[in-house]
Amino acid sequence: MPEELSIPQDFSLNTGGSGKVTNNWLLALAEDDRAIKKRRKDMIKVSCKYNIGIFVLSKEKIHFEREDSLLNDQNSIYTSFSECAPIVLKSERELQIKFPRSMKRVARLTLLRDLQRNMISNEFYTNKDMDIEKGTIIIADFDMTKWPALSNVNKQMKGLTMNAGRYDAVCTNGAGSKQEQKYYDTYATILLPDVFILQNDKRLFGKSDESKITVGNDMFHFNKRLMKTRFHKQNNFTDEERLQEETRQRRIALFKNMGSSHQDGIEPVRSCFGGMTIYKARSYLEPKCRYQINHDILTKRDKATIMRFSNIKDKRPCEHVLLHECLREQLEDFRIGISRHLVALWTGNDHRGAFLQ
């Protein structure tokens, strides 16, 4: 497995059409045209209305058409794409990236995310017109059923840059179902101080003490004796069904309580993603950090290390967890939280795809 993917020579993110310089970028991974077509209007709105550059790496070559009629559809103040931030679309073939067929999904994701991160870092440090101190980086999945409201994303971006000492990153509150609104993306989420919330049967190591899990001031774990009485005796549930119901209720409570006890609506956590995360550029591009895991840690599989946040399928932690743990170590007071104002929706068949968490 390659240790790192190299940046192609003479590559620039500010050659995506308009050449307009921006300090704000959205980075995403996509499988093919379907994900891009689904996000097309959102992409144009992000680029033109909010002056956020877009850089997408895809498995296959992407054909993306931008019509001026879409600008008028959005009732915006801009009239042509010359006023928009760049939209840069690159495929693995164009960048001469080849992965072994045996490579697992998260390992592949990790290399691609690090490549994007290195590319945007190179742009900030070589382009004299860009200011890393004023910049923000959005990491987004295109496979979401619905992105958070872009107006709220813009507000959170401004909040990060204006309130320098508060948060370094803000994640979406991912909803796994519109009806139940249960919390999604538990693989990337660790609550403070050190509570991994992935389902026990999906973890590589053991079980956690769920009595320690809190959101704000509200406990959301369930007393097992109470659950057994409520769901087993009254409704004749099997033990397996009772535990499934307990997990479902726990996730619903987690989603609803997230950030509720904080004035800014942001729940501080140790790690999160939820489908979209907004970072201060300076924090995200910390040169000593990356998404990759140390090979020695990976092979030793010691649950006393960061490997305790691993799942059974990939036998390693989520790449977002790895980056956030490094940022916690390298930055004096790295703070990340989940915002109740940024709700991303995942439903139906959108849970398939190589880039879902």
Residue 266, in any domain of the structure? yes
CA distance 294 to 325: 12
Grade residue 155 by pLDDT with cuts at 50, 70 and 90: very high
Q: How many CA atoms lie within 13 A of 336 on its CB side?
A: 33
- Of 120, 151, 158, nearest to 287 by C-alpha is 120
Pair 281, 137: CB distance under 8 Å: yes
The whole-number pLDDT of residue 355 equals 31
Residue 139, in any domain of the structure? no
Widest Cα–Cα separation across the chain: 69
The whole-number pLDDT of residue 163 equals 75
> Are 12 and 100 within one domain?
yes
pLDDT in tens, 28-58: 998 877 878 888 888 888 998 899 999 999 8
In the predicted structure, residue 75 carries a pLDDT above the cut 70: no
CA distance 331 to 323: 12
The total number of structural domains that make up the chain? 2
Residue 315, in any domain of the structure? yes
Q: What share of the chain is helix, strand, coil (3-state, %, to 5)?
A: 35, 20, 45
Torsion of CA 245, 146, 355, 44, to 10 degrees: -170
The whole-number pLDDT of residue 248 equals 74
Pair 86, 53: CB distance under 8 Å: yes
Domain holding 150, by residue range, is 144-274+283-357
Grade residue 236 by pLDDT with cuts at 50, 70 and 90: low
- Of 330, 331, 325, 289, nearest to 308 by C-alpha is 325
The one-letter amino acid code at 323 reads: L
Instruction: Give the 3-state secondary structure of residue 129.
Output: coil
> Are 118 and 188 within one domain?
no
Residue 307, in any domain of the structure? yes
Residue after which a domain boundary falls, among 75, 102, 130: 130
Lowest mean pLDDT among 75-84, 94-103, 110-119, 238-247: 75-84
Residue 33, in any domain of the structure? yes
> Are 101 and 154 within one domain?
no
Residue after which a domain boundary falls, among 62, 96, 130: 130
Helix (H) / strand (E) containing 88: strand 87-91
CA distance 26 to 134: 15
CA distance 2 to 111: 8
CA distance 272 to 276: 9
> Are 94 and 152 within one domain?
no
pLDDT in tens, 257-304: 888 888 899 999 999 999 999 999 999 999 999 999 998 899 888 988
The whole-number pLDDT of residue 206 equals 75
pLDDT in tens, 2-26: 467 877 766 777 644 455 789 999 9
DSSP 304-354: TTGGGGBBTTTSSB-HHHHHHHHHHHHSTT--EEEEEEEEEE--GGGG-ST
Residue 135, in any domain of the structure? no
Q: Which residues contact 150 (CB under 8 A, 6 or more apart)?
A: 42, 45, 46, 49, 50
**Whether residue 148 has a cis bond before it, omega within 30° of 0:** no
Grade residue 183 by pLDDT with cuts at 50, 70 and 90: confident
Maximum mean pLDDT: which of 38-52, 241-255, 337-351: 38-52
